[in-house]
């Protein structure tokens, strides 16, 4: 969440940034936060004054007793008792103001960087780079859900039988292709210096608040009510929360972690052609890369992460482009975000396969993830993460873009993992 210092030092810039994200009532909300902060400060000043009085009076009581001024000492003690009652009221007032301020801060999104373009939705995102070549497919290419059925790779109906829509069953070479992608992505991440983590796939509410999924995306997460635990929507949540309430050493930064997990998203309200097949699932596999860094180095880290994801798509020989998201299409928590999309010739549309974000200090402030520099000063870290990569749409793009009359071609980078160059 935003820090009070950030708001106090750059109030108008913060409001402009929130308006760029189309946050309703930005100015009114910021003024409300500042009013509660002033209330807390006023209570603190009164409390400090009263505690100073208590200290002075308490010192005088001993002298009064020595001089035999028992009545005066008793009156002084009564005065101290009355002041202490006032301090309790002030402490409660401070706590209430602080709690109310914190709850409002939880509802305020992160402020986008200056380079984030204005815009309301995905149509205003900016293509900053294109790569790969569009693949010349046979006439009337099949979409992946038909290819999956033709080659017995994925059974969507069986998933409905076992669980429900959005939970496909991978079979035979389909399961093998899924596993090949997982191992390929993990090997590439390790080669790039990321330490592999195997985290839990359920987290407590504190973890959800730490990375910003709560309270913003509560309705999109699967909630185990009896235990008050949440199924993770991404490995970002457990991996980043490793560093909750930690003070790291600057020399150990950046920390680079990667993790393969299943991810769970309710995707409430999704319908139509855009959710068919693997396009939008309730459970899916994803490899996530996460970095904890210093403010001075996080921009370089972000670029390195973007280069890493782009390198994966190049090795998979898929046509792609990179989008800089506009203010209205960014996530609640990000300061800047780039999306990677691969082109599906069969569906005639672009499929999002990765988002790579820098969150500045927004998550770190929620997490209290800090580092100590060479001068022993403690500062908030920057956190970053990205998909490297999400599997469903990558698998869909591979099936659709590499279909041929004799089968489905496997890119060279995946062949050692698949043990074959063709699905027949």
For residue 218, CA distances in Å to 214, 222, 334 come to: 5, 8, 17
For residue 253, CA distances in Å to 297, 376, 383 come to: 9, 15, 11
Please give the backbone phi and psi of residue 397, each rounded to the nearest 5 degrees, phi first.
-65, -40
Query: Residues 148, 277: contact at Cβ < 8 Å?
Result: yes
Angle, CA 338 vertex, CA 299 and CA 360 arms, to 5° = 40
For residue 389, CA distances in Å to 126, 275, 334, 346, 392 come to: 21, 19, 18, 21, 9
Closest CA to 130 of 355, 330, 350, 402: 350
Query: Residues 277, 143: contact at Cβ < 8 Å?
Result: yes
Closest CA to 347 of 145, 125, 123: 145
Strands (E), 253-348: 255-264, 283-293, 320-324, 336-344
Tokens linked to 226: 């009896």
Distance of CA 150 to the CA centre of its chain: 37
Tokens linked to 142: 């099949």
Any idea of the CA torsion for 363, 365, 371, 374, to the nearest 10 degrees? 120
Q: Tell me the DSSP string of 112-143.
A: PPTTSPP-SSGGG-EEEEEES----PPSSPPP
Q: Which residues are annotated as a binding site?
A: 234, 265-267, 288, 352-355, 385
Query: Residues 267, 275: contact at Cβ < 8 Å?
Result: yes
Dist CA 393 CA 313 (whole Å): 12
113 Cβ neighbours under 8 A, 6+ residues apart: 335, 336, 358, 360
Question: Do strands 126-131 and 407-409 pair parallel, antiparallel, or not at all (unpaired)?
Answer: unpaired
Question: Do strands 154-155 and 169-170 pair parallel, antiparallel, or not at all (unpaired)?
Answer: antiparallel
Numbers of helices and strands, H then E, in the chain:
13, 19
Q: Which residues are annotated as a binding site for L-serine?
A: 234, 265, 288, 385
Q: Which residues are annotated as a binding site for ATP?
A: 265-267, 352-355
Q: What HEC string does 73-88 produce?
A: HHHHHHHHHHHHHHHH
């Amino acid at each position: 969440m935003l820090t009070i210092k950030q708001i106090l030092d750059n109030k108008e810039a913060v409001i402009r940034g929130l308006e760029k994200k189309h946050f309703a009532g930005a100015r009114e909300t910021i003024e409300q936060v500042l009013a509660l902060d002033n209330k807390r400060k006023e209570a603190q000043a009164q409390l400090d004054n009263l505690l100073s009085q208590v200290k002075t009076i308490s010192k005088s009581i001993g002298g009064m007793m020595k001089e035999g001024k028992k009545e005066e000492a008793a009156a002084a003690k009564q005065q101290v008792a009355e002041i202490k009652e006032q301090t309790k009221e002030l402490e409660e007032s401070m706590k209430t103001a602080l709690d109310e301020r914190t709850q409002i801060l939880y509802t305020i999104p992160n402020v986008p960087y200056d380079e984030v373009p204005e815009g309301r939705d995905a149509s205003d995102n900016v293509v900053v780079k294109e790569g790969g070549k569009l693949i010349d497919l046979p006439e009337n290419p099949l979409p992946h859900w038909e290819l999956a059925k033709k080659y017995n790779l994925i059974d969507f109906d069986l998933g409905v039988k076992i669980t429900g829509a959005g939970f496909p069953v991978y079979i035979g070479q389909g399961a093998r292709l899924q596993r090949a992608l997982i191992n390929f992505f993990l090997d590439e991440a390790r080669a790039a210096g990321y330490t592999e983590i195997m985290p839990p796939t359920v987290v407590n509410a504190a973890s959800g608040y730490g990375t910003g999924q709560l309270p913003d995306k509560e309705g999109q997460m699967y909630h185990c009510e009896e235990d008050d635990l949440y199924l993770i929507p991404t490995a970002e949540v457990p991996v980043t929360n490793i560093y909750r309430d930690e003070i790291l050493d600057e020399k150990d930064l950046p920390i680079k972690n990667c993790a393969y997990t299943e991810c769970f998203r309710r995707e409430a309200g999704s319908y139509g052609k855009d959710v068919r097949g693997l396009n939008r699932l309730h459970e899916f596999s994803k490899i996530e890369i996460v970095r904890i860094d210093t403010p001075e180095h996080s921009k370089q880290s972000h670029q390195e992460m973007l280069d890493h994801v782009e390198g994966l798509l190049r090795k998979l020989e898929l046509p792609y482009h990179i989008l800089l998201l506009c203010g209205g299409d960014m996530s609640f928590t990000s300061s800047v975000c780039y999306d990677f999309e691969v082109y599906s010739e069969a569906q005639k549309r672009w499929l999002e396969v990765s988002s790579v974000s820098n969150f500045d200090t927004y998550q770190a402030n929620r997490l209290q993830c800090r580092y100590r520099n060479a001068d022993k000063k403690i500062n908030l870290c920057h956190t970053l993460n990205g998909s490297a990569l999400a599997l469903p749409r990558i698998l869909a793009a591979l099936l659709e873009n590499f279909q041929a009359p004799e089968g489905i071609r496997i890119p060279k980078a995946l062949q050692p993992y698949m043990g074959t160059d063709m699905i027949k």
